[in-house]
Amino acid sequence: MQLNSYDKNGITVIGIEGRLDSSCASMLKTKFKELSAKQNNFVLDLSKMDYIDSTGLGAIVSCLKVVSEASGDVKLACLKDKPRMIFEITRAYKIFDIFDDLGAAVESFIQ
């Protein structure tokens, strides 16, 4: 898995590329911890994420938990077909706002 992060209109975007699973979920948590020291609102760009398992889900949930305590949020954008199915199967959409478009996800914070 590879991670990259950048600022878009004052919101931090984290791009996840590859598989987010038990072998690398801790990387996301570590990266997020560093970034959340300065920012509370994030969009995860999942346009290149191929697969997610329960450990990967747990890592994203932990990100949400961290910023929620500071009244921030983590939104998800551009799920590919397979992870989208996984989110639907696991009903993870119940706690995450999911957008088809990265711009719309960022916009939703500003509005």
Partner 1 sequence: MDNISLLAIDDERFNLLLLEEALKSEEISVTTCTSADKGIELIKANDYDVLLLDVIMPGIDGFELRKIIRESRPHLPIIYLTAIVDTIDNSLIEKISQDKLTYYMRKPFIRDDLVKMIRSTVAKRRTEEQTKELYTGIMEDLALAAEVQRLLIPDWVILNDDVIVSSIYEPSQKISGDMFDMIPLASGKYFFFIGDIAGHGVQAALYMSAIQSVLKMIIGMGNWEITTHEVLSRLNWVFCTELGQEKYMTCMVGIFDFANNELEFFNAGHPNLAVFNPATDTVELLNPGSKGGIPVGWDRYYEYKEEDVIKYKFSDDSIFFMTTDGTFEISNSNDQMLGFDKMIQLLDSLVHDQDSAIIPYRVREALPQMGYSVANDDMTIITVKKIVSDQAGSGRKYWLTHPMVQDVNKLCADCEKYVADYTGNAELSVKVELILGEFLNNIVMHGLENSQQSRPGILVQIKVSDKDVTIKILDKGKKWSFNTSPVPPSEDIWNKDEQFATSGRGMTIIRSIASEISRNRYKDLNETVFKIRRQQG
Which of 6, 70, 85, 97 binds partner 1 (CB under 8 A)? It is 85
Q: Is 64 in the site for partner 1 (CB under 8 A)?
A: yes
Q: Phi and psi at residue 67, in whole multiples of 5°?
A: -80, -25
Q: Is 55 in the site for partner 1 (CB under 8 A)?
A: yes
Q: Considering CB under 8 A, how many residues would be counted as binding partner 1? A: 26
Helix (H, G, I), strand (E, B) or coil at 25: helix
Of 43, 35, 46, 65, residue with least CA distance to 1? 46
Which residue is associated with the tokens 């938990």? Answer: 65
Residue with Cβ nearer partner 1 (53 or 107):
53
Q: Find the DSSP H helices in the chain.
A: 25-35, 54-68, 81-90, 102-110
| Closest distance of CB 53 from partner 1, Å | 5
Which of 2, 4, 30, 68 binds partner 1 (CB under 8 A)? It is 68
Which of 90, 100, 101, 103 binds partner 1 (CB under 8 A)? It is 90
